[in-house]
Chains A and B, each alone.
Chain A
Amino acid sequence: MRCEVSNQLTAFERSDGRWGLRNHVLILPLHSAFSATARKIADDSSGAVAVSHDWSGEVDGDFDRIVKTISGFAANPNNFATIFITIGTPNELAIIELAKKIGLGKFEVLNVAELGSMSKIADIGLQMANSLLKEAKLSQRISAPWSAIKLGQECGGSDALSGITANPALGVASDRLVGLGSSSVLGETTEILGAEHLLAARAITPEIGARIVETVARYERSINYEGIDMRGAQPSRGNIEGGLTTLEEKSLGAAKKAGSAQFSGVFEYADQVINPGLYFMDTPGHDTEQLTGFAAAGINIVVFTTGRGTPTGSAIVPTIKVATNTTMAIAIPDLIDLNAGTIADGIATLTDVGGELFDLILEVANGKLTKAEKGLHHEFSLSRMYNTVIR
């Protein structure tokens, strides 16, 4: 893959050669009980971000997946630094160790057991966060190659226009980025169900194509195992109200996000995205589980198309919202960054809007804040595979 130097893109170069499009100081609790303390540090600081989660150190079937998710999130190149809040158990330390293997980030550890209490952690964490934020301000964006962009594709609250406006516009922008040497990742396994054969036909090898098909089948099997027909739950009620009729219609539309480039590979959830090209990642359709998995994979910017409108974002990954229809874009303007409904209105062509979106991706990569960032939408969800009722 050619990797062209861009004269337009700037980013923060990390010591291991990865590129950040943001320079966050992240407060990351390694136990759910410290979520409030993490939020307090972030709220009181001069710009740190925090996430909350519901993992309390359980070691069950999902342990490896959770370790991978939290450590990858910590190591995302958009983080200038990550402050872990831990009680120092071996399981929590495993997360910190894995984060260090993923990237040479700046990792600080606040051990509650050593420091004595949550309120002490709040004070010490605040000082530490503010001092890291000062340090972060000293680092400068420099000219970056197109390979610095690792784009995640997402859709949520889809409607009948998703597959005609916003998703294909994202496909245009994705194709252009892939052509220039960026990485671009399609996820949402459950939402390409019924369209997987079309994606598989675009794989660079038959093996990769077969893996796309098998990844979708594997997801469906895991749901069937529970005695549930996933096809009965899709399209969702919100999708139906938005005018979608069948799962296949939804999936065919969702797949349009990936444009027409060839698929270079398939990732498991939260696998590190390193090389340029278009990829498929096995993620749930659940918006924030997907977004969290993308962030954990080192994806540093996301385009999120939406028909019904959704405010969700990530604490560390800028998330660009593209409306599929003008009615919604006008009705809820403070969560939409770009309206692709103009295509259906006959005002703009797919090429126009795809080009606008490409430009917007570049602007946001260069530091322009998205609506979700301005609104501090920092949702974070751990994706689990197994029953938690019986734990």
Chain B
Amino acid sequence: MTMKGFDHGNRGIGVRNHQLILPSVVCSTRVSSRIAKEMDAITFAHQHGCGFIGNDVGRITDYFAALANHPNVSSTLIVGLGCETLQGNELADKLLSKNKSTNYLVTQESGGVQGTVDSGVAAARELRTKYPTPQVVLPRLHLGIDLSNESPVVTDLVAALADVGVDVTISSSHKNSGLNFSDLMEAGVHVILSFPDSNQPASGFPLIPTINVASNSPLHLALKDDFDLFASSSVVEIIEKIYAVVNGEQTKVEVIGAGEIIAAREVRSV
């Protein structure tokens, strides 16, 4: 099976060609979403970047850096406010040391909201022009499995994936798929196969296509239209779906646009 990929330089070869508009603080999430909408890029809402202390500052900075360095990302525009704890220019410097296709903007120095949106759209366009993404063959797929819910199919699936040369990272640390997604993102997986807890709905992650597999729980049966695969799906069907998604088929949650980030914190905000 040939897999299509996008050459994202030092980030690696991705299965999606997403430009990331990364708000480095909650205060710039709205500006980021306006830029992202204009550019058909990816962004997300979050509540981090300021009013936090201790290990969380490094933890969230590393988390954002991992997002920006993800292989599915073509280029990153960081949008900061200016006075926040997590400084956009420092994050940018950290990213630039690995990936030149990075830029950052600061609302307090860009003439306000409209000014930042205008310069942001221009900066995002420039990144795309300056760093075009060649389409290539993906030599090796890295699949993440969110095992919030145990599934009898997983053992056979993992063996079959090994046979076809797919790398697999399994996260089962949390009952909360969102936290497992974050772990898998940091591991750099291209695609996530999610087995959500039987009492949890299908969900997704902003940069990484997420295939949801339903269990036979009453909730999952009731929400079957949000799931890509089911408890009855065979190993072959699951692998076919993974390849289809790698090659561009949108997952159910990608179509809806569902994808939040859940970034864990150690200490309450101040």
Judging by beta carbons under 8 Å apart, are B26 and A56 in contact?
Answer: no
Residues of A contacting B257 in the complex (Cβ-Cβ under 8 angstroms): 36, 40
Q: Which of A113, A157, A384, A385 contacts B83 (CB 8 A)?
A: A157
Q: Which one of B124-132, B139-147, B220-228 contacts A?
A: B220-228
**Neighbouring B residues of A234 by C-beta, 8 Å:** 270
* Segment from B12-20, B91-99, B161-169, B174-182 that makes contact with A: B174-182
Chain A residues near B30 (CB, 8 Å)?
311-312, 375-379
Q: Is the CB of B176 within 8 A of A228?
A: no
Q: Chain B residues with Cβ under 8 A from A288's Cβ?
A: 26-27, 47
Q: In the assembled complex, which residues on chain A have CB atoms less than 8 Å from the CB atom of B264?
A: 387-389, 391
In the complex, what residues of A have CB within 8 A of residue B260's CB?
32-33, 35-36, 52, 54
Known: A32-B260, A376-B30. A223 touches B267 (CB 8 A): yes
Q: Count of chain B residues with Cβ under 8 Å from any Cβ of A?
A: 62
A-B contact count (CB 8 A): 213
Main secondary structure of the interface of A (DSSP, over half): loop
Least CB distance from B168 to A in Å reads 24
Q: Which residues 39-62 in B have Cβ within 8 Å of A in the complex?
A: 45-47, 50-54
Q: Residues of A contacting B46 with CB < 8 Å?
A: 54
Judged by a CB distance under 8 angstroms, whether A285 is at the interface is yes
Report the minimal beta-carbon distance from B1 to chain A, rounded to whole angstroms.
Answer: 30
Is the beta-carbon distance between B83 and A308 smaller than 8 angstroms?
Answer: yes
Q: Which residue of A lies closest to B179 (CB)?
A: A391
Identify which of residues 216-270 in chain B touch chain A, using a CB-to-CB cut-off of 8 Å: 218-219, 222-226, 253, 255-270
Let me know if B87 and A119 touch, CB within 8 A.
no
Q: How far is the CB of B67 from chain A (nearest CB, A)?
A: 15
- The answer for the CA separation of A233 and B256 in the assembled complex, in Å, is 40
**Minimum C-beta distance from A165 to chain B (A):** 17
Query: Contact string, A24-43, partner B, CB cutoff 8 A, digits 1/0?
Result: 00000001111111001000
Quick check: which of A145-153, A330-338, A350-358 contacts chain B, the rest being far away? A330-338
Nearest CB of A to B103, in Å:
20
Q: A228, B267: Cβ atoms under 8 Å?
A: yes
Segment with Cβ contacts to B, from A98-106, A202-210, A236-244: A236-244
Residue-wise, chain B 78-89 has the 8 Å CB interface mask toward A (1 for contact) of 000111110100
Stretch binding the partner chain, chosen from B3-11, B69-77, B197-205 = B197-205
Given contacts A54-B178, A230-B53, A388-B265, contact A309 B108 (CB under 8 A): yes
Q: Is the CB of B265 within 8 A of A332?
A: no
- The answer to the question of A112 belonging to the interface, with a C-beta cut-off of 8 Å to chain B, is yes
- Contact digits for A325-348, partner B, Cβ 8 Å, 1 yes 0 no: 000100111110000000000000
A117 located at the interface, meaning its Cβ lies under 8 Å from any Cβ of chain B in the complex? yes
Cβ–Cβ contact A36 & B258, under 8 A:
yes
CB of B82 within 8 A of CB of A389, answer no
Distance between Cα atoms of A352 and B114 in the complex (Å): 30
A232 to chain B, nearest CB (A): 8
CB nearest to B196 among chain A residues: A33
Flag if B222 contacts A37 (CB, 8 Å). Answer: no
Q: Residue on A with the closest CB to B177?
A: A56
Q: A52-B260, A236-B83, A285-B270 are in contact. Are A375 and B113 (CB under 8 A)?
A: yes
Task: Please name all residues of chain B whose beta carbon is closer than 8 Å to the beta carbon of A287 when the two chains form the complex.
Answer: 26-27, 50-51
Contact in complex: B114, A334 (CB < 8 Å): yes
Query: Bound complex: CA of A114 vs CA of B108, how far in Å?
Result: 46
Q: Are B256 and A56 in contact (CB under 8 A)?
A: no
Q: A116-B223, A237-B87, A391-B264 known; A56 and B176 CB under 8 Å?
A: yes
Known contacts A286-B269, A384-B268; is A37 also within 8 Å of B27 by CB?
no
- Give B contacts to A, CB under 8 Å: 26-31, 45-47, 50-54, 81-85, 87, 107-108, 111-115, 174, 176-179, 199-204, 218-219, 222-226, 253, 255-270
**8 pairs, A vs B, C-beta closer than 8 Å:** A54-B178, A113-B218, A222-B268, A236-B85, A284-B270, A287-B51, A289-B47, A332-B107
